[in-house]
Amino acid sequence: MPHLKHILVIRFSAMGDVAMTVPVVKALLDQNPDIKITYVSRPEFAAFFNNISRLTFYPADLNYQFKGLPGLIKLFRSLKKKARYYALADLHDNLRTKLLRKLFRLSGLIYSCIDKGRAEKKLLTRFPGKVLKPLKLTTERYADVFRKLGVPVNLNHQLLKKTQILTDEVKAMIGEKKNQWIGIAPFAKHKGKIYPLDKTEEVIKLLDYQNVTIFLFGGSLLEEEICLQWQKKYKTVISMVRRLSMEQELNLISQLDVMMSMDSAGMHLASLEGIPVISVWGATHHYAGFLGYGQSENNIVADDIECRPCSIYGNKPCFRKDYACLYNIPPETIAGSLIKFIS
């Protein structure tokens, strides 16, 4: 076997951003049989990288084992002992990865890091006088990191449905698939991305008359409480919040007919499994480059109010104070878009 070039890849967070790197590293490995990868990220994201040939996942627990500056130095030393690397690919470019880059550079390793296009994104969110034009897709920005290292990678941006079966563990929780399944991931980290929950309930109410099963996804205790309330009220609803491992959640998502998600991790997890997403956008905009890999712009639901996007990540308070970009979207529009996939 010829000697493989070993690339160290780093992306610590967030969940959706890490998920977006997966089709890029898959394409790179498929197209470059002389490359292998060690991918460093948080332990909870390991399931994203299962069964990828020539990829080793290195779980870096930044809250405990590798916490703070001493922890990062420890992580550097641990990684350096693991292998002799050809290059480092920094897909994150934050304070932690900058320090690791510097340490590896001092040890003689070449590196490349992501260009996040901050200046362009500032113009996109400026108001008044915003420059509303599509920017480079984030997945292409990730691919550029490898291209700068001399490793070609071509992305086809096609949604590829995985051929999976429901595992026995998940089947024991929800039973066999007897009708069409819709996933709803109604939450996001920031308020500017979250479709109002009372309106999400209206979407559920409109779908409750269809021959479907609706699975709700989330993560926090509060999200679990909200989803359990909806499960009690609507016969079609099953809350999966805090019931599944990441691997099990991906397995269930792979069986959906369609997913409704915010501009958040739910969209990117569905993209990993080749599931179409009706994506709801508020303060953010797909022009910033964060549309799920292979997802169609035709399945975007958004209002064209002149002030959006006001934020790249949805973390800025609404200057209007009313989040009109989200409240202006009728539940009937979202329900209608979902029904097209189950009719």
- At 1 the pLDDT is 46
- Per-residue pLDDT, averaged over 29-42, amounts to 98
In a domain, 153, yes or no: no
Amino acid at 289: G
Q: Are 160 and 314 in contact (CB under 8 A)?
A: no
CATH number at residue 72: 3.40.50.2000
Confidence tier at 3 by pLDDT (50, 70, 90): confident
Domain of 89, in residue numbers: 5-148
Is residue 172 domain-shared with residue 321, that is, in the same domain? yes
Mean pLDDT computed over 24-52 = 98
Query: How many C-beta atoms lie closer than 10 Å to residue 102's C-beta?
Result: 12
Residues 35-54 have a mean pLDDT of 98
31 φ/ψ angles, rounded to the nearest 5 degrees: -90, -10
Mean pLDDT rounded to a whole number for the chain: 97
State yes or no: pLDDT of 321 exceeds 90.
yes
Task: Give me the phi and psi of 10, to 5 degrees please.
Answer: -125, 125
Share of the chain above pLDDT 70, in %: 99
92-111 average pLDDT score: 97
In this predicted structure, the answer to whether residue 162 has a pLDDT above a threshold of 90 is: no
Residues 330, 187 within the same domain: yes
What is the per-residue DSSP string for 110-150? EEEE----HHHHHHHH-SSS----PPPPHHHHHHHHHHHTT
The answer on pLDDT for 232 being more than 80 is: yes
For residue 157, pLDDT over 80 is answered with: yes
Average pLDDT over every residue of 334-342: 97
Could you say which of 148, 181, 199 is where a domain stops?
A: 148
Are 250 and 303 members of one domain?
yes
What is the predicted pLDDT for the residue at 2?
Answer: 61
Q: Is residue 14 situated within a structural domain?
A: yes
Same domain, residue pair 320 and 200:
yes
pLDDT-derived band at 124, boundaries 50, 70, 90? very high
* CB distance 239 to 39 below 8 Å: no
Alpha carbon distances (Å) from 188 to 177, 196, 210:
28, 11, 26
Residues 109 and 191 in one domain: no
Q: Which tokens sit at 41?
A: 């990220």
Same-domain check for residues 311 and 218: yes
Out of 119, 148, 177, pick the residue that ends a domain.
148
What pLDDT score was predicted for residue 45? 98
Say what the pLDDT of residue 163 is.
77
Rounded to 5 degrees, φ, ψ at 50 are -60, 140
- 160 lies in a domain? no
What span, in angstroms and rounded, lies between the C-alpha atoms of 262 and 308? 15
Residue 155 placed within a domain: no
Model's pTM, two decimal places?
0.96
Helix (H) or strand (E) run with residue 238 in it: strand 237-239
Same structural domain, 101 and 228:
no
- Percentage above 90 pLDDT, the chain: 97
Residues 183 and 273 in one domain: yes
Are 324 and 302 in contact, with CB atoms under 8 Å apart? no
Structure tokens at 295: 């997802």
Give me the number of domains the chain comprises: 2
